[in-house]
Structures are given as C-alpha cells and as structure tokens.
Amino acid sequence: MNSATDTRVAAAGIVRKPRPKIRADQWIMNAISFVWITFVALLCILPFLLILSGSFTSERAIMMDGFKLIPTDLSLEAYRFVFRFPEQILRAYGVTVSLTVLGTVLSLFVIAMCSYVLQRPDFKWRNGFSFFFYFTTLFSGGLVPLYILVVNYLKLKDTYWVLLLLPLVNVFYILVMKSFMRSIPAAITESAKIDGAGDFTIFMRLILPLAKPALATIGLFVALGYWNDWFNSLLFISDQRLYELQYYLYKVLGNIEGLKIVAEKSGRPVPDMPGEGLKMALTIVVTGPIIFLYPFIQRYFVKGLTIGAVKG
C-alpha cells in the first residue's frame, strides 16, 4: 500500500518527505519495482482483456472490426457452444479436477523423495542417478513405441491410470526441486542421523515441512501440467467418460472445423458458428485455476517460514 501511495505522490510531483521509517534506498527500490511490475503486468493483462472481450463478441463483429477491448456486439454464442452439452463438460471437469488433485499429491511425494536423495551430499551415486534421470529429457523414442507400449503391453488404453501415471514423474521438476532442497542446510540431516533417525523419517518429519515453498512451487506446476493435459487423452482415451477438460475443449474446437468441412463436403451452407470467438472463450475457460489456485499457493511465498524456526 505504501509504495502505491508513494509513487502516486511522486508522480503528482508533490514534494513531501518520505515517511521516516522508510529509508531512501528502500523508497527508490519500491518505486522502481512498482512502476516496472505495473508496466509488465499491464502488458500481460491487456491481451487477456482483448480475449475476454472477444469471447463475448459475435463472430460477425470480430470479422468486421477485429478485437476490441469493449465488445461491439455482445454475444454469448461462444460460451453457449462450449457448454452445449453441460453434463459432458461437467464430467470432464470432474475427471480433470480429480486427476489434478490426486496426481499432484502423488507426483509431489515421489518427486520430493527422489530430489531429496539426489541432493544428499553423502550419497555418492547422486551424480550417476541424476544423469540417468536427465538423459530422458535429451533422447526420446517418439510416439510410436510409447503408444505400442501403453496400448499393447501395459493395456492401459482407455483407463484413468494412463492419465494419472504418464505425467507423474517429470524429470525437469526433479532437478529443479533438487536445487531448491540444497538450500536446506545439510546439518539438519546430519544431526538427525546422529540422533539415529532413518533417511525416510528425516525426509518425512524434517525435510518436507521445511521445503514448503519448494513444494508449493513445484506443486503448482505439476497441477497445471495435469490441468492442461490433453495430449494423453488424445492418444489413449476414446471413452467419453474419461475425457479430460482440455481434451474435451480441443474436441469442441475440432467439431467446429468438422462442421465446416462437412458443410463444404455436402454442399450445405456453412452454419454460423463461433470460430475465433470460441478460441477466445476456451482460453477463458481454462484459465480458471490461476484465479482460484494461485492466491492459495501464494500463502507459501512468505518470507521467514524457513530455517530460523527450526534451528533453535
């Protein structure tokens, strides 16, 4: 709040002494930060407002006038199209939410455990194992063998399992988490070891609570990964009851294309359908979690939650 007032004051050109408890350097830093972040944030929100407005604009108006910040010709057509089959989209929401919750918890646990071990200085094989994990981000066999493996050998086609398990271990996050965990002093592990605690107990009792910011961060990304997944559905799911939200929306988009192709193919007039507007509406529909989830995650981005408290 302070910085906001200060900058406004500065901008108005009113000369006033900064409040005594804020030092000059802090004041400058605050002003720079406030201005710069406001600027970047505006760059980020402006296109989004265009999209929001576009999603409420009739297809015809988009065609004629392009995108405007205020809808010129208000229309709910795009949303009506997205929610055409409410029970289907509700089910897709259900699948995605449950996958996101379950997947994030499991994935975080597995990743954190792995990262903790990989950064333990007394674990001599840590580099070898790290390399073993990292190698998979460089080389990949491609879609065909993965598809054959999942469908023919693991028989996971059209199962909830494939959606849960495929994204479960992401090597990228293991390596980032590993670097986060290094900021937890090794002394904590060492002293606990001397007290006779086992590695797993140390991890559960001491490390996990200390790693909250790291867990929150990686958890956010894992959750977004599950939330945004559509490709695994595309590959492995044909049972409508298991569609993930993003895949369902992807199919909605495909249906529009399909209707156009079909109209062309059969010589019937192309029906009036939201094309561009629909893409915009889909963007809005999938952005939901950041509005609801992110403020929640931010609770963990608070200074002073860390070592100090434990050390004593």
Partner 1 sequence: MKSAFMRDFMNYKTMLLMLVPSLFFVVLFQYLPMFGLILAFKEYTYGKGILGSAWNGIENFKFFFISGDAWRVTRNTVLYNVAFIAINLVLQVSIAIMLSELKSKWFKKISQSMLFLPYFISWVVVGTIVYNLLNFEHGTINTLLRSLGFEPFNFYSDKGVWPFLLVFFSAWKAVGYGAVFYLAAIMSIDSEMFEAAETDGANVFQRIWHITIPSLKPTMIVLTLLSVGHIFRGDFGLFYNMIGNNGLLFGTTDVIDTFVYRSLVENNEIGMSAAIGFYQSILCFATILLVNGIVRRADKDSALF
Partner 2 sequence: MSKKKKAWLGTSAVLAMSMLASACSGGNGNNAASGSPSASATATSSASASASPTASASAPAIDTSEHVKLKMVLVGPKAPDTDEVYAQVNKILTEKVNAELELRFLDWNEMNQKYPLLFAANEDFDMAFTASWAFYNPTARKDGFLELTEDLMKTYAPNTWANQDPVGWDQAKIDGKIYMVPQDAFESGSSVAMVRGDLREKYNIPELKTQEDFVNYVKTIAKNEKGIVAYNGPPTTLNGSGAPILFLDLEKRFVHGSAPLVYDMKSESPQLTNYLEDPKALAKLDMMYDMAQTGAWPKDAIVAKTDWHAAFKEGKMAADTGNILTASSTMEAMNLKHPEWKVEIYDLSPEAKRFQDPLINNGVGIHATSKHPERALMVLDLLRYDRELFELTTYGIKGKHWEPVGEDRYKVLPAGATGYPPDGVCPWGWRTELVRTLDGPAGDVLQSFYKKWKENNIIHSPLETFALDDANIKNELAALANVQKTYLLPIYFGLVKPSEGIPEVIEKMKQAGLDKVQAEMQKQLDAYVASKKAE
Q: Please, which of residues 118-147 interact with partner 1 by CB under 8 A?
A: 118-121, 123-125, 127-134, 136-142, 144-146
Per CB under 8 A, 154 contacts partner 2: no
Q: How far is CA 231 from CA 12, 195, 235, 249, in A?
A: 52, 48, 6, 12
**In the complex, least distance from residue 87 CB atom to partner 1, rounded to whole angstroms:** 25
Q: Which does 2 bind (CB under 5 to 8 A by kind): partner 1, partner 2, none?
A: partner 1
Cα end-to-end distance, the chain, whole Å: 34
HEC string of 195-233? CCCCHHHHHHHHHHHHCHHHHHHHHHHHHHHHHHCCHHH
Kindly identify the residues of this chain, within the stretch 215-244, that bind partner 1 according to CB under 8 A. Answer: 216-217, 220-221, 224
> For partner 1, which is the closer residue by CB, 140 or 266?
140
Per CB under 8 A, 3 contacts partner 1: yes
Contact segment (CB under 8 A) with partner 2 among 185-193, 210-218, 230-238, 296-304 equals: 230-238
Where are any strands of DSSP class E within 67-215? none
Owner of token pair 């071990």:
117
**In the complex, least distance from residue 200 CB atom to partner 1, rounded to whole angstroms:** 6
**Sequence-distant contacts of 245-249: CB under 8 A, at least 24 apart:** 245/89, 245/92, 245/93, 245/95, 245/96, 245/286, 246/96, 246/286, 247/92, 248/88, 248/89, 248/92, 249/82, 249/282, 249/285, 249/286
Contact segment (CB under 8 A) with partner 2 among 7-15, 100-108, 139-147, 208-216 equals: 139-147
Contact segment (CB under 8 A) with partner 2 among 74-82, 91-99, 146-154, 202-210 equals: 146-154
Residues that bind partner 2 (CB under 8 A): 59-60, 63-64, 143-144, 147-148, 151-152, 234-235, 238, 250-251, 253-255, 257-259, 261-271, 275-276
